Amino acid sequence: MKFIDEYCNVELSQRLVERIRHKSAREVRLMEFCGGHTHAILRYGIRQLLPPTVEMLSGPGCPVCVTANADLDKAIALSGLPGVILASFGDMLRIPGSYSSLQKAKAEGADIRIVYSAMDALRLARENPHRSIIFLGIGFEATAPTIAASILEAEGERIDNYYVFSIHKLCPPVIRALLQSGEVKLDGIVCPGHVSAIIGSQPYEFIAKEYGIACAVAGFEPLDILLSIDMLLAQIESGKPEVEIAYRRGVRPEGNLRAQEIMGQVFETCPATWRGIGEVPQSGLRLRQEYQRFDTEKAFYVDPGPPREARGCLCGDILRGVKWPSDCRLFGQVCTPEHPVGPCMVSSEGSCAAYYQYQSHEAALSK
């Protein structure tokens, strides 16, 4: 298939793997920031192709996983308000909050609809003028522009029953927070693909300059990822860390200026709380003053009670890259995709889900 098969080409990938093996002289630790990358790496078995000297660590790039319980609890409480339709991306539904999940709230009678984009939520607002439509605005820089666009459209059409609960998060600030903590030693970072299509590669420059860590922006096909690893190794071996793009068909250094403009018009940065990481300055997005009438924070009041963390759940440590899913005593025993304890086991971008789905029985397979 066009634009997919090319990036899955077996011969090319074998040649890249050879190059990577040839280049790899010492042990390196790379972090793939995105959950999408973690899944692709496990789904295509890319780790089986890499030399043992290259260690790949999963990062916090799963928007659903890093959503703090306090925010999730608030979303669940909002869904229970009379007259409200809560529109959410499907991924959020099964995430366990402190006391319940959106899926359970739905079963108990809350009107929760799965949508694919903010525009679908806006359509719900048009079709249900007597209901309040709350869109659960979750995601990184890749999703924020379309949500900003939905708000501009709602304003243009004078739609007055559309609201956004913005719990968006930004990638570069959290990478800085991770590196600043010094908890994980990294040699290179596979930088986000879709996010970088919006923000470009420039916002990662500080990683190479200030922390001396190699960076490569990668797409989500096997060849994209292998190419980024090859670039990272070359940077590491030459001792010249920089930000390269292994995803030229999607990402330009300056990013998508129009999308950035819309995002900046509607949102402003604010501190945000990340699961496992805590509050990170400038890492969230809230609606600007001019658009506050679309803000759930201003239009609705809910008190979901104090947030609680599930006992024994290591999602926070796994999101920081300091623990592996297999380090968690709950993994695969108490916590499974059917009975998730933490979000990393539920989300299609969660590390635990990826390891469980593709790898948990590797020992059995190698027999």
Partner 1 sequence: MKSTEDRILLAHGSGGRLSHELVQKSLVPSWSNPVLNRLDDAAVFKLSGRLAFTTDSYVVSPIFFPGGDIGKLSICGTVNDLAMCGAQPLYFSVALIIEEGFRLAELERIVTSIKEATEEAGVEIVTGDTKVVPRGSADKLFINTAGVGLIPEGVDISGSNARPGDKILLSGTIGEHGLAVMSQRESLEFKIPIQSDCAPLNKLVVDMLAASPEIHCLRDPTRGGLATTLNELATQSKVGMRIDEENIPLQEAVRATCELLGFDPLYVANEGKLVAILPPTDAERVLNQMRQNCYGREGAIIGEVVEQHPGRVVMRTRLGTSRLIDMLSGDLLPRIC
230 Cβ contact partners less than 8 Å away, ≥ 6 residues apart: 16, 19, 20, 23, 246
Using the rule CB under 8 A, is 36 a contact of partner 1? yes
Using the rule CB under 8 A, is 158 a contact of partner 1? no
Q: How far is the CB of 38 from partner 1 (least distance, A)?
A: 13
Using the rule CB under 8 A, is 333 a contact of partner 1? no
Binding mask of the shown chain, residues 222 to 261, with x at each position contacting partner 1 by CB under 8 A: x---------------------------------------
26 Cβ contact partners less than 8 Å away, ≥ 6 residues apart: 53
Cα(43)–Cα(184) distance, integer angstroms: 25
Per the DSSP assignment, residues forming a β-bridge with 244 are 216
Using the rule CB under 8 A, is 271 a contact of partner 1? no
Cα(226)–Cα(221) distance, integer angstroms: 9
Cα(81)–Cα(70) distance, integer angstroms: 17
- Tokens 């605005």: give the residue: 137
Using the rule CB under 8 A, is 143 a contact of partner 1? yes
Determine the interface stretch with partner 1 among 8-16, 153-161, 209-217, 261-269 (rule: CB under 8 A): 8-16
Using the rule CB under 8 A, is 337 a contact of partner 1? yes
Q: Are 50 and 22 in contact (CB under 8 A)?
A: no
Binding mask of the shown chain, residues 112 to 131, with x at each position contacting partner 1 by CB under 8 A: -xxxx---xx-xx-------
Cα(286)–Cα(179) distance, integer angstroms: 25
Cα(345)–Cα(314) distance, integer angstroms: 11
Using the rule CB under 8 A, is 140 a contact of partner 1? yes
What's the Cα-to-Cα distance from 126 to each of 117, 131, 153, 160, 248, rounded to whole Å?
Answer: 15, 10, 11, 9, 38
Q: How far is the CB of 212 from partner 1 (least distance, A)?
A: 29
Query: Which residue of 23, 106, 176, 194 would you call a contact of partner 1, by CB under 8 A?
Result: 194
Nearer to partner 1, 204 or 241 (CB): 204
Nearer to partner 1, 116 or 239 (CB): 116
**Tokens representing residue 32 in the block:** 């793939």
Determine the interface stretch with partner 1 among 24-32, 110-118, 203-211, 234-242 (rule: CB under 8 A): 110-118
Q: How far is the CB of 109 from partner 1 (least distance, A)?
A: 13
